[in-house]
Copies of this chain bind each other. A is one copy, B any other.
Amino acid sequence: MTSVLKNDLLLRALLREPVPRRPIWLMRQAGRYLPEYRATRTRAGNFLALCTNPELACEVTLQPINRYPLDAAILFSDILTIPHAMNLGLEFEAGEGPKIARPVRTSADIDNLRVPDPTQELRYVIDAVALIRRELQGRVPLIGFAGSPWTVGTYMVEGGGSKTFGAIKRMMYEAPRELHRLMALLAKATILYLNAQIAAGAQAVMIFDTWGGILNPAQYREFSLHYMAEIVAGLTREAQGRRVPNIVFTKGGGAWLVEIAAIGCDAVGVDWTTDLATARKLVGSQVALQGNLDPSALFAPPETLRAEALRVLTSFGSGPGHVFNLGHGITPDVDPERVAVLVETVKNFAIAPGA
């Protein structure tokens, strides 16, 4: 765990320190598009078995790092580990997405929830982090992560994925104080969880707010951003003598970048619907930006893919503070060869002298 970090481009870029080139990692880089991932998952039996087995989670975390010269590893896990630890009956049905057998709908349901002790109920995650750090041997930094309280809450209240989010919105309008209780509890759980990941060796952390973008601006501030701000304020800022940068990402949050940047985070994730030049103009030098190639660009022929990647790189402009990534996770039907093209393109992109 104390190996010297050989490639710290990610950590420096997230803190807006000068770097010789843009670091790159990809959301869901350890995933179904990789045949070696599918093999391990088959061995595990199912998705949840893979998440809860530290050795296998470590194995799949390292797969993309062994295949591509990426600048970061991200813990293989799921944003629903917290509701799983709360014993709500999480299952992943094949092709159906997550299901929660005992959704949280009433005041009594919220009363029954307990903040998990990450070193107990989430021990498998913490063990995976420590193991991955050991196995990485300082090649690249390890990113830990959690879902935002709002996003995790949508699954807990809806009982799974949703198109209209009727159940949680009903709670928001009918019983806003109850929903605040749930969000506060999730924020508390998430702080403990991310800090345990940091203590075990995560060198940066990211908060995924996949569903913040379905809220109106006032609701987004009140029910999502507020709790992400609480989390950011509660995070361990330094570990092993080094700053632990954090990244906040709201999918569909392009209109709120200024407000997100103001919560004290180090970096803001940007999806592909906002131009990075626009994003940077909005946030100024307050935060680094991470993103934002459309994941579907990985379907493009190599030449088009290169052009799209260069468009993202140049749209950020010069100067430090850009971590290249997709605007959302890689989809399972992507050809791994295209990912190689993308990584190579970004790594060969020279930062202009004096930038």
Contacts and interface: CB of A to CB of B under 8 A. Distances in A.
Nearest to A253: B273
A173 B299 contact: yes
A97 to B, nearest CB: 10
Interface stretch (A111-119, A214-222, A261-269): A214-222
Interface string A292-307: 0011110111001100
Given A217-B274, A272-B216, A166 B331 contact: yes
A173 B273 contact: no
A165 B296 contact: yes
B297 A173 contact: yes
A93 to B, nearest CB: 16
Contacts of A304: 173-174
**Interface of A (DSSP majority class):** helix
Nearest to A173: B300
A275 interface: yes
Interface size class of A (residues with CB under 8 A): 35 or more
A294 B216 contact: yes
Contacts of A219: 294
A255 interface: yes
A172 B294 CA distance: 12
A273 B170 contact: no
A174 B273 contact: no
B273 A216 contact: yes
A217 to B, nearest CB: 5
A273 B215 contact: yes
A327 B275 CA distance: 24
A172 B295 CA distance: 13
A102 interface: no
A218 B220 CA distance: 26
B217 A299 contact: no
A56 B274 CA distance: 43
A174 B299 contact: yes
Nearest to A299: B170
Contacts of A333: 166
A71 B23 CA distance: 55
Contacts of A213: 273
Contacts of A169: 294, 296, 299
A153 interface: no
Contacts of A300: 173-174
A192 B325 CA distance: 43
A254 interface: yes
Given A169-B296, A173-B300, A173-B308, 14 more contacts: A164-B296, A164-B331, A166-B299, A169-B299, A170-B299, A173-B296, A173-B299, A174-B299, A217-B275, A217-B278, A218-B275, A219-B294, A220-B273, A254-B255
23 contacts: A164-B295, A164-B296, A165-B296, A166-B331, A169-B294, A170-B296, A172-B296, A173-B300, A173-B304, A174-B300, A174-B301, A213-B273, A214-B273, A216-B275, A216-B294, A217-B274, A217-B278, A218-B311, A254-B254, A254-B255, A255-B273, A255-B274, A255-B278
List the 5 shortest-distance A-B pairs measured between CB atoms, nearest first: A173-B300, A169-B296, A170-B299, A216-B272, A217-B275
